[in-house]
Amino acid sequence: MPDLVIPPRAPVLLPVEGSDAIFPVGRIFCVGRNYADHAREMGADAKDPPFFFQKQPDMAVPGGGTIAYPPLTANFHYEAELVLALGAGGADVPAAAATALIWGYAAGIDFTRRDRQNEMKQRQGPWEIGKSFDASAPCGAIVPAAALPAPLVAGPIVLTVNGAVRQSGDLARMTWSPAELIAALSRQVTVRPGDLIFTGTPEGVGPAVPGDRIVVTVAGLPALEVAIGEPVVRS
């Protein structure tokens, strides 16, 4: 085997609830505007088909720690989401078979530099600067699907900031169900074991500032908690 010219990156690993096992993260896909109320609050048509954007794997960070307020923004937003962790993959997967690809579920946050995202919308450019940055995809402990009585398609999704409820919805109000999202994504790319899919956020997104403590709970899954630290200082 040829020598590597630089050391390979360490794998990105997330905890599995109730186990010493760990889940290796492959890719991160996020769906935009998958709750009608959130689509309307963002000025979009709730009936639009699902569309996806990506974050880099190392942007997934476990909960329980502090995330620095990121650079290049003065309008840093939280978005509470159900996360699907895939244990199998495929291309052109029918929705009826897609649930079988889900290895587990977790609570997540799609952090967003909203000012940068809105700027790129106006320029008709890609959202990457608004969505893809360090620690922008916190993820709670993953609960294996096999440990749940049924696939998660309903149940409360709640985000609090310093104990006050800011987002409150129900998974049943998704425009596109988890199975439909996997099927749609698998027509765009071949989905793979290790992929995470952030499934969209309900209404109530808003700004986070240094000192905030954010907690997300989704349908009885382990809570995801993060604190917002002081801004990143670039030397």
Burial class (CB in 10 A: 0-12, 13-18, 19+), 36: middle
Pairing of strands 52-55, 28-31: antiparallel
Gap between the terminal Cα atoms of the chain: 39
Per-residue pLDDT reduced to its tens digit, 145-174: 999 999 999 999 999 999 999 999 999 999
Q: How far is CA 87 from the centre of its chain?
A: 17
CATH class of 16-231: alpha beta
> 0.85 cut: is pTM over it?
yes
The SS3 call for residue 105 is strand
Give the Cα separation of 115 and 52 in Å (integer): 19
Tens digit of each residue's pLDDT (9 = 90 or more) over 91-119: 999 999 999 999 999 999 999 999 999 99
Question: Could you tell me the two tokens for 52?
Answer: 């996806």
The CA-CA-CA angle for residues 12, 14, 16, to 5°, reads 150
What's the token pair of residue 46? 């709730």
Q: Would you place residue 42 in the very low, low, confident or very high pLDDT band (cuts 50, 70, 90)?
A: low
Check if the beta carbon of residue 196 is closer than 8 Å to that of residue 60: yes
